[in-house]
Structure 1
């Protein structure tokens, strides 16, 4: 991003609200947990669901590296990821938005925030989640795992979201639900508001460096004026 481009954006006072989607705006983390568990079981791996749940939000390759033995036959990783994708796709038509998700996006867009979705999901999953939210008119841009070389907790997706919004890190706030979201924001120098809607304990989010924590999008919306997105 050139300094001239950044200066032009700053002059207009644009602010960007960057959002994770899985677990943050759409209630999918437990669906991912079960479908990853089944995909790994089919490949002969026994992994506890708690461990899987706490790895949700990482890119698929990092998730498998975290959960499976180092000496595994890595040639099977693609097959496991493919099985998860197929199992999870069965839920596409009935994914539930988290309470307040659409209203929060619309309110922020109405207040002048440029809303960017920055998801670790591939494009087809992101499309299904956008349909579940039903607030496309409020979304300025959307990025998926297909848009970056390295997924969360690497900062690539957050950095690309900043580029797409045309703002420096200081003029953006990221909203996510996992420690991997918080870690990616920390590396990118972006403030992170964490939600509990993904099922991650608040103490883990605080320890990871979350600036603020709310129950879900509806709770953030109720307290918006006192949050990083209201100041």
Structure 2
């Protein structure tokens, strides 16, 4: 395999944000009269809002009506409240710089909304290396993760075929989404999922720093 590019999830992969997303969902649902516990929604982080809303508000859609208002409220909380508290995953900037210096193309493949992306890139400390122009988000896909749409859109935008890339992710939904698109995944534990949940990844590392430390023996060096 001759690697030509790397697809990048953002939340939980490059920035430690999964707990914040879960809490934002709890607060957004509460604002509309739905009692959702943190521990109920946390395992679903990595799915898009269109997937999450119906699980706790049956009959609602994350794309219209009150369901969309709940999803929009979560987005607002991330941008205006939680975004200021987020920190990069260890080694994020150095790993992305290493990948790009190796001549590999980089393309974001995230379930985040376009409006959230600039906040997340800044929080990850990579807004000097990655831009909204090198990204596919929820607005580029009919269905969010674990559907393959976002990964397929990222492949099209970066101009590469599935066998030519590896995706970096942190949730079983990243692995499922990429797998349906024929893309292999390197997974990070820093998103809060355990190895059994990440078992379909081709390799698992603690975080970007861990991958960087073992780069020469990793799938990225292939």
Q: TM-score, normalised by structure 2?
A: 0.90
Pick one of 195, 205, 228 that aligns with 2:219.
228
- Unmatched 5+ residue regions in structure 2? none
- Computing the radius of gyration from Cα coordinates, the structure with the larger value is 1
CA distance in 2, matches of 1:186, 1:158: 9
DSSP 3-state at the match of 1:135: coil
Would you say 1:119 and 2:107 are equivalent positions?
Answer: no
**Deviation of 1:134 (Å):** 3.2
Flag the 1:106–1:37 CA change in 2: closer, same or farther, 3 A.
same
CA distance in 2, matches of 1:35, 1:24: 18
Please identify which structure carries the higher helix content. 1
TM-score, normalised by the number of residues in structure 1 = 0.87
- Distance in structure 2 (CA, Å) of the matches to 1:138 and 1:110: 11
Superimposed CA distance per residue, residues 186-231 of structure 1 (whole angstroms, 9 cap, x where no aligned partner)? 100101111011101111111xx21111100110111111211111
Provide the aligned length of Structure 1 versus Structure 2.
217
Greater CA deviation, 75-84 or 218-227?
Answer: 75-84
Q: Which runs of 5+ in 1 are unaligned?
A: 1-9
C-alpha offsets along residues 140-180 of structure 1, whole Å, 9 cap, x if unaligned?
A: 71111112221111111111111122111101000000111
Work out whether 1:105 is the aligned partner of 2:96.
Answer: yes
The worse-fitting range, judged by mean Cα deviation, of 93-102 and 103-112 is 93-102
Matches within 5 A, 1:156-195: 156-195=149-188
Matched, 1:23 2:12: yes
